[in-house]
Structure formats: C-alpha cells, structure tokens
Amino acid sequence: MTAILSAHPIDDAVRNRIQTELDAIEARRDVKVLFACESGSRGWGFASPDSDYDVRFIYVHKLDWYLQVEPQRDVIEMPISDELDISGWELRKALQLLRGSNPTLFEWLDSPVIYREDATLASTLRALAPGFFSSRKGRWHYLAMAHKNFRGYLQGDTVRLKKYLYVLRPLLASQWVDEGRGMPPMRFAELADVMVRDVALRDEINQLLAVKMKAGEAEYGARFPLIHAFIEQQLERVTELPDYKRPEGDAIALDRLLFETVQATSH
C-alpha cells in the first residue's frame, strides 16, 4: 500500500531563533530548560507553509524554589510572536501530569522534532511513560477531541481542510488504543500507516495531506467524501469501554527523578 505522506519542515534559521528564545527564557526566569520539542502540526507531520512553530518545553528551577511554603507558578507562557508559540511546564508539574496519564505529555516525549534535550531526563521519562499510560483516559481524550472538531468545523458542504486531520488523528489514536497497542505515536503517518487499511481511503488521505502541506492554515474546500464517510461511521461506534488494564507506573521513581534532577541542576 502507498505510504502516508509526512514532513517535518524546520528551517535552520527558525531552529536557531528557537534556541535563542529558550536561552532568553533561562536567563530571565533563572531556570534550566531540560527538554523542548515541536508539539503541533509540524510535529504531527502535516504542517502548512504558514503553520506556527508550537514549541513546548520542560524546565527546572533552582533548589530554593522548591523549598518555599507558598505554591509558585509552574507554567511559563510567552506571548505569541510572529510564528512562534512557546510555552513550558515546570518539572514537578510535568511529573504530576505524567502520573496522571496526561496524553499531551506523552506526545511531547514522542515528538520527532526535538530542539533541546537533557539525555538522562528524557531517556528516564520515556522509559517510565508506558507504565503511567491509561488506555481508558487516553481513549476518551482522543475521542472527545475528534467529536469536538467534527461538530465544530466539518458540518457544511465546504469545510476547513486542516480540521479533517484534527479529527482523523485523534480518531485513529483512539482506535490504536482500542486495539491494545498502548500509547499512540505522535506522528500522523505512523498512526495512519497502521490503522488505515482501505487503499482508497489511504489515497484520499494522501490527497488531503498534499493539499494541506501546500495551502494556508485557513484554506477551505469541498468535502473529501471517503474521509467524511469514514469519520461519521467511526464516530457512531458503540462507546462501551473494554476492560482496560490500569496503569502500573512507579510513583516513587518520579519522586526520585525530581529530587535527582533538581539536585543536579542546583550545583
């Protein structure tokens, strides 16, 4: 079968600009950025020429920040500047979200576009992540996303084309979970290559991707009939949950990782 189209265009100039922005965040906030990746359509593999760069990062403070009685802000959000959308989570917050099986964090760790990475932290997080993945929570997260985008953007005869992918991707991710495959991959092509078995549907998805990668983010067009029918059929599936396995992650390992990372970066 024909492979699903995929591309991750990151210009060297943009990559250098992102590094400069991360350096500036470290200097202004007195933090250390341990991990930074692309989280949006450029990471998913179907960016438009005018797509933003959605940079997401994990950072750590010095030791004294963790020894204050009052809770401190644990998110850094930069104003969107031109095409850069940059925000990050403090390490303890990120580990709490990992323990809570946050699907977004799993996607960050699987991003094919990495801007910065502490090798020890990243490898440890990736090793721990499968133990905290909740198939029940992941499935509902992706199905809710698919329903929301379908109802909001794909009801007319003329539709916003990129929204097909914002429905297809979470829909295929939920099916990936239902088949017991664990954490869905971030890249759309990896999902579709496994989950889309109908040749005609694959061809139409590739037609959509070819248009999306050349057109602007706001491009509208006529419905893609096979894709539209597939989405409607899948969203009408019975929603009874299989007997999913509960997460078995080691919370003590997260405490140890937080302690060791803060200690190492405070010297």
CATH code of the domain covering residue 69? 3.30.460.10
Query: Is residue 32 domain-shared with residue 139, that is, in the same domain?
Result: no
Instruction: Determine the 3-state secondary structure of 158 from DSSP.
Output: strand
What's the mean pLDDT in 15-44? 97
Examine the domain organization and report whether 91 and 34 are in the same domain.
Answer: yes
CA distances in angstroms from 187 to 8, 11, 59, 133, 175, listed in the order given: 10, 19, 24, 18, 15
Residues 16 and 129 occupy one common structural domain = yes
Average pLDDT over residues 204-220: 90
Give me the mean pLDDT over the 206-233 stretch: 91
CB atoms within 10 A of CB 68: 9
Are residues 62 and 156 both part of a single domain?
A: no
74 lies in the same domain as 181 = no
Identify whether residues 19 and 128 lie together within a single domain: yes
pLDDT score for 236: 86
Q: Do you know the residue count of the chain?
A: 267
Q: Dihedral through CA 176, CA 180, CA 184, CA 190, nearest 10? A: -60
17 and 129 share one domain:
yes
Q: Which domain holds residue 158?
A: 135-235
Q: Indicate the number of domains in the chain.
A: 2
Residues 97 and 162 in one domain: no
CA 80 to CA 95: how far, in whole Å?
A: 26
The pLDDT value given to residue 39 = 95
Angle ∠(146,150,156) on CA atoms, nearest 5: 170
Asked if residue 151 and residue 85 are part of one domain, the reply reads no
Q: What are residue 82's DSSP bridge partners?
A: none
Same-domain pairing of 127 and 251: yes
Domain presence at residue 34: yes
Strand-pair partners of 46: 7
Residues 6+ apart with CB under 8 A from 113: 8, 10, 37, 38, 42, 43
> pLDDT tens for residues 44-95?
999 998 899 999 999 999 999 999 999 899 999 999 888 999 999 999 999 9
Joined tokens for residue 68: 């204050």
Residues 259 and 204 in one domain: no
pTM exceeds 0.85 = yes
- Residue 124 domain-assigned (yes or no): yes
Indicate if 153 and 216 belong to the same structural domain: yes
